[in-house]
Amino acid sequence: MTAKIRNMRPYTGKLNYAYVVAFAGNLLALTGDTTLTWSSPVLPKLYSNDTDINPLGTPITKDEESWIGSLQYIGAMVGILPFTFLADRIGRKPVLLMLALPHVAAYLMFAFANNIYWYYLGRFLGGVSLSSVYIILPMYVAEISEDSYRGMLLVSYSTFASFGDLFPYILGPYLSIRWFNLITGIFPILFLLSFASLAPESPYYYVGRDDHRAEVTLNKLRRGRLNYDAKNEIDEIKNEKMKNKTGDVWSTLKKKYVVKGFIVAFGLSCFQQLSGLGAILAYTETIFRAAGTNVPSEVSSIIVGVVLFLASFGGPFLVDRKGRRFLLIVSATGLIISESILGLYFYLQTETDVSVDSFSWLPIVCLVVFTITFNIGFGPLPFTITSEVLPSNVKFLLATVTGFSGWLVSFVVTKFFNDLNDYLGNGGTFWLFAGFCGIALVFIIFVVPETKGKSFQEIQIILNR
């Protein structure tokens, strides 16, 4: 009840400072997602025999392509462990600032490398940062937000990330590899400057360590609120922490609401990647070339990227109106339909005598539908829900496990995407992804709870039933 009353108090006309902080933090989300689509415009250049285009001097092999497309996920699995541990020890803010540095190093490597192994190292370093950002940034945003707008701020992550996906599609095909990477490297530097100067440490981190600093931080974050008393919110945070501190970590892990929350987070993390997202983002131009569309592959990729970015604006406005479960169900349905039809297109193209020339536009439409429906549900909501369903004292531990599992699945999907195409055919590969989305739909309907507008304490009560 206290949380509900707290959220009903009106704001003055001043800008909510938590929005400013989330904006600065989301620049790191933008930086991270450029890593996912970076390979789409770069790989075709690395196949060139022209040394003015290909800095490596000789074309890469299919095996080298698969490693460039997937090595970031190895980095993601390695980086997720130390950084999420540090976030609970030294604070969220310093760790988020540290996570920008591997991106800066990676883009400098890409800009000046003339050896394939520098590309491997750069991709690995980008992944080291990417995985931890997906866990620590949403949790930081959840901890600085109030229940009434927490969902909107968490899903705004997706808008910035989607622009990060779009940026390589727009710039990559038309610039040299050096200039493309030097320009892309500006984003992590902008994040470092803005977040270091604007963002406070999470009040959740301070409570129990330094309540005075927690009070100062909350007053800064809620400075537009009328009749606000930070001590009340500190008491709520303490109650939530104390509830989850009863006994040691292992006894906490045995509690029903913790087990159910972990199952929800783990399932959503894995199904997100089993949708085929990683492969589609990494090989967008390659997919369109295989489809034989009349539209140039780089233009088709830009269309998909623009739609992905525009669709991301819907999530923040819908998530606290329609709810998480509704958007996930719509998202899963859209993914099933789009990938099933795309699989049928490739089957007709490669396995039958049916001419697909009259509907060569269909792959573009399918991937447009895929990106729209992915971006309103499967894209942002697994991270949003993970930050909501896990209790604070084991949140980073369990989020690390779910994140590691998700990145492992993404590595397998991306590394062996070409092998799947060889074994199942392009059509069979997309039908496989659609099948996983069908299983995910059943999981969402029967397992995932609705967390819209609920406090962390209320969510735990729901999971404990």
Q: For residue range 219-229, what is the model confidence (pLDDT) as tens digits?
A: 888 876 767 77
Q: What is the pLDDT of residues 293-350, one digit of tens each?
A: 777 878 888 888 888 788 777 766 777 778 889 999 999 999 999 999 999 999 998 8
For the chain, the distance separating the N- and C-terminal CA atoms, rounded to the nearest angstrom, is: 19
Phi, psi of 194 (to 5 degrees): -75, -45
pLDDT band at 6 (very low <50, low <70, confident <90, very high): very low
CATH code for the part of the protein at 2-463: 1.20.1250.20
Pinpoint the alpha helices (H) of 9-115: 17-37, 39-46, 62-89, 92-98, 100-112
The predicted model scores a pTM of: 0.76
Higher pLDDT pick, 222 / 129:
129
pLDDT for 426 beyond 70: yes
Indicate the residue type of 393: N
Please, are residues 303 and 368 in contact by the beta-carbon 8 Å criterion? yes
Between the alpha carbon of residue 64 and those of residues 23, 181, 289, the distances in Å are: 37, 20, 19
Pick from 384, 440, 412: which is nearest to 77 by CA? 412
